[in-house]
Amino acid sequence: MRRANVVRVLSGKQQKQILEIIGDRCAALWNAVQYRCRQAFFEGESVPSYGRLCSEFKEHESYKALPAHIGQEVIKKARKAWDSFFALLRLYRKGELKKPPRIPRYWKDRRTGKRFFRIVPVKASTSYSLNTRYLSLTLPQDLRAKRGDRLVLPVRGILRFAGVPKTLELWYDPAKKRWYAHQVVKVPEPERKKKPEKQAALNLGARVLAALAVEGWHHQLLFSGREVWKDFVYWTKKIAAEQARLNKAGRKTSRRLKKLYQIRARRLKHAFVALAAELVRILKRHRVTVLFVEDLTGIRDDMDFGPKNILVHNFWAFGMLRRLVAAACARVGIGVVASAPRGTSSGCAVCGSSVLRPVRYKAVCETCGCVWHADANAALNILLQGSSKGHGVEVAPRKPLSLRWNYHRWESRFASAAGTPTGAASGVPKVA
């Protein structure tokens, strides 16, 4: 299993200049490789392979201006961009994508034509070293003051994952004007506890971000999306205001705009990461071994709300939530099984007959008289579909537990209404 450590790179004035020189050389090489590949593509020839590019660029000046393990990695990255382009193109031709993919681009500002730096990839762990305090890199030959000189940069952050170090990439964030180091480490797979098997199911949505049903647990748990989207809308409005301001000035983008986008995405991710963590805590408490998660296709039905239908344009968010949940489960060894949506919200979880939806969040079964929270019902249905042994929940549906985001952690509505100090653990009752 691969994980990434991310730390911020601090640099003095001189170190910063050196980083920028290296970054610019990477961009020069990237652009040269892209030029070669694009020409081949437009001429109808095959795009050269990584090995061929390496031998073609061996004597190239922008390749020779970099240490070999950086130069090779730039070429590899540039070639990989073509691999993903072709993969997307195949999907597009099969009709699985709406828009044709764009061919790999230059690292260059379109308006000014100026080259910009973005990433400095470093190939192997033998060519860099990273600890909690310093990152040290090989310098290009001409930038060394004396033999064996290295670029040593102080770093700030936590190395979350310990394991076998793999590649490292230095990323430049133009909005913050900062460098970050992303280190890939290989960590051993956590042992997956298989027996006794216990199952749970998660239904993802917009109003209720996630609804959880656990085998044999009489309550279902809902993560309310209300506060999360409220915050998202707040920042979206700020973005719109900034865009209006830029429009008036005849500009398209600004550092402030980039920062606002970043803030909005990060705040959303914060809520999602916390959701995944809380979810995993609950799953562990119930000793769940397998989690069924519905495919995202069902979400589209749930997306016609919010000011100006904001969610429709932010479908990516659900992909992110799903990935974060899967990653959090993988870390503790809970298996995640994707289940195809098969009318999970239209049938009653007790008797299977179709339900009425008088209001969006309610599902009423006329056959057995059950009144469900629609998402809790859907989660139970996913559990039923995935499992071979039923969901083990008695007939009468109970009011589901609901958690909401207080911009810091997921807490139960009850806890917040009663004014529980924030230091208390979340309001989910322990299993008896």
Residues contributing to the site for Zn ion (CB under 5 A) = 348, 350-351, 365, 367-368, 370
| Residues 228/308/361/431 CA torsion (nearest 10 deg) | -10
Q: With respect to Zn ion, which residue has the nearer C-beta, 205 or 397?
A: 397
- Distance in Å, CB of 341 to Zn ion, minimum: 20
Which residues fall within 8 angstroms of residue 68, CB to CB, at 6 or more apart?
none
Angstrom distance (rounded) from CA 304 to CA 307:
10
Comparison of 253 and 367: residue with beta carbon closer to Zn ion: 367
Q: Residue 411 Cβ, how far from Zn ion at the closest point, in Å?
A: 32
Per-residue HEC secondary structure of 53-121 comes to: HHHHCCCCHHHHCCCHHHHHHHHHHHHHHHHHHHHHHHHHHCCCCCCCCCCCCCCECCCCCCECCCEEE
Minimum distance, C-beta of residue 196 to Zn ion, in the bound complex (Å): 29
Is-contact 277 269, C-beta < 8 A? no
Are residues 238 and 417 in contact, defined by beta-carbon separation less than 8 angstroms?
no
Q: In angstroms, what is the minimal distance from the CB of 353 to Zn ion?
A: 5
Please classify residue 205 by burial: count the beta carbons closer than 10 Å to its beta carbon, then call 0-12 exposed, 13-18 middle and 19+ buried.
buried
Q: Where is 290: in which H helix or E strand?
A: strand 290-294
Least distance to Zn ion, CB of residue 226, Å: 28
Provide the minimum distance between the beta carbon of 288 and Zn ion in the complex, in angstroms, as a whole number: 25
53/370 with CB nearer Zn ion: 370
Nearer to Zn ion, 264 or 391 (CB): 391
CB contact at 8 A, 383 and 201: yes
Residue closer to Zn ion by CB (options 49, 367) is 367
| Residue closer to Zn ion, measured from CB, 260 or 348 | 348
